[in-house]
A = this chain, B = another copy of it.
C-alpha cells in the first residue's frame, strides 16, 4: 500500500435545530489556527483508529457540548482540492437534527463560541461550508416528504400545529391544515396524549407524540410514508 498519500480526512456536521418557528444551523467559532475567529460548521480531523461516526459525535461534544437526536451521512466533499488552504482535506459531511430539549449549547471547550444561525441568514463561510449547508438544506427538504424526521426537531409531545408550521417553514410553502392533519394521522404512528398545551391566547392544543416503534411496525407491513403538498 502506497505510503506517501498526503490527504487528510475530516468530518463536518450540519446540525439543524428548530425553535420559534424557524430553522437554525449550528455554527462554531474557531479558537486556533489560520481560521481563528471565523465561524464554521462544527467538525475536524478524524483521529487514528476512530470511526467516522464517532468522530462526528466527538467533535459535536468538544465544540458545542451538544447531544444530537438524528445523524446521517450527507456527502463527501473532495472535488475541490484546495477547499482547505492548508492541506488537501476531504470532508465527510453529516446531517444532524436536535430537538428543543437539547438546544442549549454549552460553553464549548474546543471552540471560542457557538451559536444557532438562522438558515435564511447564513453569512459567507470559509471552506465550502456554504455549499455543505445548501446540500443539507436540500436534503432535509427532500426527507421531510418521505421520512419521519420532522419529529426529531420537535419535543416528544407537541401540538399538531407545531408540526404543520415546521413543514411550512422548512419547505417554504403554505400547507392546507386539514389535509395535512388528515394525511399524517391516517398513517397511525402519531398518538394523542392526555395533555393539552396552552400558549397565551387561543384554544389550548391537544398534544400528540410520535411512536417510532409503531412506525417501524407499520413500515414492515408495507406502509409507505409520503406526504405531498398541492
Residues of A within 8 A of B (CB): 1-2, 4-9, 33, 45-53, 73, 75-76, 78-81, 86-88, 90, 92
Residue of B whose beta carbon sits closest to that of A82: B49
- Whether B81 pairs with A50 at a CB distance below 8 angstroms is yes
On chain B, the residues within 8 Å of A80 by CB distance are 51
A-B residue pairs, 3 tightest by C-beta: A52-B78, A51-B79, A76-B76
Residue of B whose beta carbon sits closest to that of A49: B81
- Whether B48 pairs with A76 at a CB distance below 8 angstroms is no
| Of B48, B78, B90, the contact of A88 (CB 8 Å cutoff) | B48
On chain B, the residues within 8 Å of A51 by CB distance are 78-81
- Whether A7 pairs with B48 at a CB distance below 8 angstroms is yes
- Whether A53 pairs with B76 at a CB distance below 8 angstroms is no
- Whether B79 pairs with A7 at a CB distance below 8 angstroms is no
Query: Could you show 11 A-B contacts with beta carbons less than 8 Å apart?
Result: A1-B86, A2-B45, A4-B48, A7-B48, A9-B90, A49-B81, A51-B78, A52-B76, A52-B79, A52-B90, A78-B92
CA A33 to CA B9, docked complex, whole Å: 24
A1 CB, min distance to chain B CBs, angstroms = 5
CA A49 to CA B6, docked complex, whole Å: 9
- Whether B5 pairs with A9 at a CB distance below 8 angstroms is yes
- Whether B78 pairs with A45 at a CB distance below 8 angstroms is no
CA A79 to CA B88, docked complex, whole Å: 22
On chain B, the residues within 8 Å of A78 by CB distance are 9, 46, 51-52, 92
> Known pairs A2-B45, A6-B48. 15 more at Cβ < 8 A?
A1-B87, A4-B48, A5-B8, A5-B48, A7-B9, A7-B48, A9-B78, A9-B90, A48-B88, A49-B88, A51-B78, A51-B80, A52-B90, A73-B76, A90-B92
| Of B9, B53, B81, B86, the contact of A9 (CB 8 Å cutoff) | B9
